[in-house]
Structure 1
Amino acid sequence: MPNLPNKPLLLIDAASPRVFVGLWKGGGWLACATPERPALESIFSGVEQLFYDAKLGLADVGGFVHCEGPGSILGVRLSAMAIRTWRAFPTWARVPVWSFGSLHFAAAAYGAENGSPPPNLISEFRHGRWNLLLAGEDTVMAVDDVVLNDLQEPLVYLRQRKTWQSAPSHAVEWSPDWRNCAHLVETPSLLRPVHEPDVFIAEEAVFQKWSAERHRG
Structure 2
Amino acid sequence: MPDSPRLHRAKAGRFVTFQFMPSLNQLLAAHAPLLVLDAASTRIQVGWLAPGSAHWAASFAEAGIGLFECLDQLQTRPEAAGAFVFCDGPGSILGVRTVAMMLRAWLVLRSRPVFAYHSLLLLAHARRDPALTVIADARRDSWHCAAIGAPLRRVPTAELPVRLAMPEGFRTWSTAPADLERIPYSLAELLPATHDADIFRAIDEPDAFLHEEPSYATWSPQIHRAP
TM-score by length of 2: 0.75
Following TM superposition, by how much is the alpha carbon of 1:142 offset from its aligned partner in structure 2, in angstroms?
1.4
Is the aligned partner of 1:18 residue 2:27? Answer: no
* Residue pair 1:70, 1:202 contacting (<8 A) in 2 also: no
Following TM superposition, by how much is the alpha carbon of 1:159 offset from its aligned partner in structure 2, in angstroms?
4.8
In structure 2, C-alpha distance between the alignment counterparts of 1:166 and 1:84, rounded to whole Å? 35
Q: Which runs of 5+ in 1 are unaligned?
A: 211-217
Is the aligned partner of 1:35 residue 2:48? Answer: no
Aligned with residue 199 of structure 1, among 197, 200, 208: 208
Aligned match of 2:116: 99
In structure 2, C-alpha distance between the alignment counterparts of 1:208 and 1:87, rounded to whole Å? 33
Following TM superposition, by how much is the alpha carbon of 1:187 offset from its aligned partner in structure 2, in angstroms?
2.7
Kindly tell me the number of residue pairs found equivalent between the two proteins: 194
In structure 2, C-alpha distance between the alignment counterparts of 1:118 and 1:194, rounded to whole Å? 30
Assess, with a 3 A threshold, how the Cα gap between structure 1 residues 206 and 59 changes in structure 2: closer, same or farther. Answer: closer
Is the aligned partner of 1:152 residue 2:162? Answer: yes
Is the aligned partner of 1:84 residue 2:104? Answer: yes
Following TM superposition, by how much is the alpha carbon of 1:173 offset from its aligned partner in structure 2, in angstroms?
2.0
CA-atom RMSD, angstroms? 2.4
Is the aligned partner of 1:133 residue 2:143? Answer: no
Identity %: 31
Aligned match of 2:224: none
In structure 2, C-alpha distance between the alignment counterparts of 1:8 and 1:171, rounded to whole Å? 37
In structure 2, C-alpha distance between the alignment counterparts of 1:14 and 1:167, rounded to whole Å? 21
* Residue pair 1:33, 1:46 contacting (<8 A) in 2 also: yes
Following TM superposition, by how much is the alpha carbon of 1:164 offset from its aligned partner in structure 2, in angstroms?
2.8
In structure 1, C-alpha distance between the alignment counterparts of 2:97 and 2:207, rounded to whole Å? 7
In structure 2, C-alpha distance between the alignment counterparts of 1:6 and 1:46, rounded to whole Å? 21
Assess, with a 3 A threshold, how the Cα gap between structure 1 residues 174 and 141 changes in structure 2: closer, same or farther. Answer: same
* Residue pair 2:38, 2:87 contacting (<8 A) in 1 also: yes
In structure 1, C-alpha distance between the alignment counterparts of 2:133 and 2:168, rounded to whole Å? 14
Which amino acid is the alignment partner of residue 9 of structure 1?
L
- Structure 1: 4+ residue segments shifted above 3 A: 56-59, 159-162, 203-210
More helix by share: 1
In structure 1, C-alpha distance between the alignment counterparts of 2:140 and 2:196, rounded to whole Å? 33
Aligned with residue 197 of structure 2, among 188, 199, 206: 188
SS in 2 for 1:124: strand
